[in-house]
Structure 1
């Protein structure tokens, strides 16, 4: 004879199995959509790994990577994997990233360096480098669309923009007036403490704290940076003799940069919604 406990277990077991299957299916769809959002990131990383340091057919490595990056972006637009508006945003991230690179690589700062020759170097920085920042923007734009992202309790846009500008400025000014990243991180923590991002892996809405997303994306960028420096695409001063793991403090820098990138994407979408006039 079955006891009440046995009957309860028999009743709940199918629901548990169904819940587990549901979770696995949603996780699979989430992974597929994330992989799709990382298309430009992934292909560009593969190009960095497979392009020989000596270049291809006499073309220096950095120049090859620039051609690959531009070609990938044009292909994505042609294949309708990316819109022209999204391409414009990617170009904006390229400009923002290149400006930071030019400053960091300058002779007075030398935070890192690009050791190889290239015809397309400007201020000591190969032009392809801006696309490394553009990959972050591309990922955010793509995931926003593919996962139907919605943001709850977004802070006032002028406050978010102010923090983003200060974060970007601190990457420059900390060489002269001190590093205020932790103060800015604390401000961002307070600003986004209530902010949740809602996304749809399959057919149900899920949500997570936006701050957690910032930290997770920053961590994966830090991993990618280790891969890039290991392959010698660029090097920090302490890696010139022999490669070593990029300092963990860079994780915080990347997380702050992710906040700035997200703010740009969110602001562009906000502006577009405001100026969009529905048809009759």
Structure 2
């Protein structure tokens, strides 16, 4: 059976090996069979895990620091976390797991996230341990890498899954929406919280957009709002791991850790819009080609 190879995507050695593994197995199977579907599912899971590499390693570092980093070490925990996160970022770049183009987006996430962190910690929305010198005010520098992990995931997903979009809204409109969401993260401390209005605006702007993605031979599609919700849920789970590791704490967690409330999902969903808009300015959204339309269910 002749199977289509991924298009003109830049693939790392690991991604080539994943595709090679899938190609060898699918060559012996019927295209529309349960076993072929399981192979495609395995490729999807492997590539999603690969896209999450920086975020997953950073969560691992947070957990190690929480349970095994000595309290009396000469280098305090927060500074050690910052240096470890910086080392991870350097390794990702040097080994070409992340391109310079992708790094630009990650750095932009650092800036956007750190500005928000400075304001939110001052407003008492959450807090960090008051230790270390690698900080700006009450914000340790490793916090920017957590926002960078979201950026790293998104830019890698764009490339690895060759994302294409039907009826993607005008980028100027999405930029205005993202700006409104970002401003509301600050202004809701003084004025009425507009998150529900903004959520309705997101549905109106992106409601007709369909995302096409390439696993290996399969080219599924899904409403982009569903993709936003799934990624926001994943970030919420990661947030629970990070707060459990003591990376930061919400006021209600100071006397004892508990699961972060589900209401935070709305905040993460809106943050996803800011994230996607930032990535879309580096990777302009492309329309699916004819092969994508034919291969997609109902195409």
**TM-score class, shorter:** 0.7 to 0.9
Helix, strand or coil: the match of 2:56? helix
The 1:17/1:161 distance shift into structure 2, 3 A limit, reads closer
Asked whether the equivalents of residues 56 and 64 of structure 1 are also in contact (C-alpha less than 8 Å), the reply is: no
Match of 1:197 in 2: 211
Helix, strand or coil: the match of 1:58? coil
Match of 1:228 in 2: 242
Matches within 5 A, 1:39-188: 39-51=53-65, 52=68, 54=70, 57-106=73-122, 109-188=123-202
Larger radius of gyration: 1
The 1:82/1:176 distance shift into structure 2, 3 A limit, reads same
Match of 1:214 in 2: 228
Question: Residue 38 of structure 1: which of 52, 68, 75 is its match?
Answer: 52
Say yes or no: does 1:28 pair with 2:48.
Answer: no
Query: 1:247: Cα distance to partner?
Result: 1.2
Asked whether the equivalents of residues 48 and 157 of structure 2 are also in contact (C-alpha less than 8 Å), the reply is: yes
Q: List runs of 5+ in structure 2 lacking aligned partners.
A: 1-28, 286-299
Asked whether the equivalents of residues 55 and 64 of structure 1 are also in contact (C-alpha less than 8 Å), the reply is: no
CA distance in 2, matches of 1:117, 1:98: 17
Instruction: With the length of structure 2 as denominator, give the TM-score of the two structures.
Output: 0.82
Asked whether the equivalents of residues 198 and 205 of structure 1 are also in contact (C-alpha less than 8 Å), the reply is: yes
Query: 1:17: Cα distance to partner?
Result: 10
Match of 2:284 in 1: 270
Helix, strand or coil: the match of 2:188? helix
Query: 1:239: Cα distance to partner?
Result: 0.7
How many residue pairs align between the two structures?
A: 255
Asked whether the equivalents of residues 93 and 134 of structure 1 are also in contact (C-alpha less than 8 Å), the reply is: yes
- CA deviation map 1:3-24 (0-9, x unaligned): xxxxxxxxxxxx9995211211
CA distance in 1, matches of 2:208, 2:78: 42
Q: Alignment RMSD, CA only?
A: 1.8
Helix, strand or coil: the match of 1:208? strand
Helix, strand or coil: the match of 2:98? coil
Using CA pairs under 8 Å that are at least 6 residues apart, name the structure with larger relative contact order, 1 or 2.
2
CA distance in 2, matches of 1:171, 1:76: 31
CA distance in 2, matches of 1:56, 1:72: 24
Helix, strand or coil: the match of 2:218? coil
Q: Which runs of 4+ in 1 moved over 6 A?
A: none
Asked whether the equivalents of residues 29 and 201 of structure 1 are also in contact (C-alpha less than 8 Å), the reply is: yes
Instruction: With the length of structure 1 as denominator, give the TM-score of the two structures.
Output: 0.87
CA distance in 1, matches of 2:72, 2:35: 47
Q: List runs of 5+ in structure 1 lacking aligned partners.
A: 1-14, 272-280
Query: 1:55: Cα distance to partner?
Result: 5.6
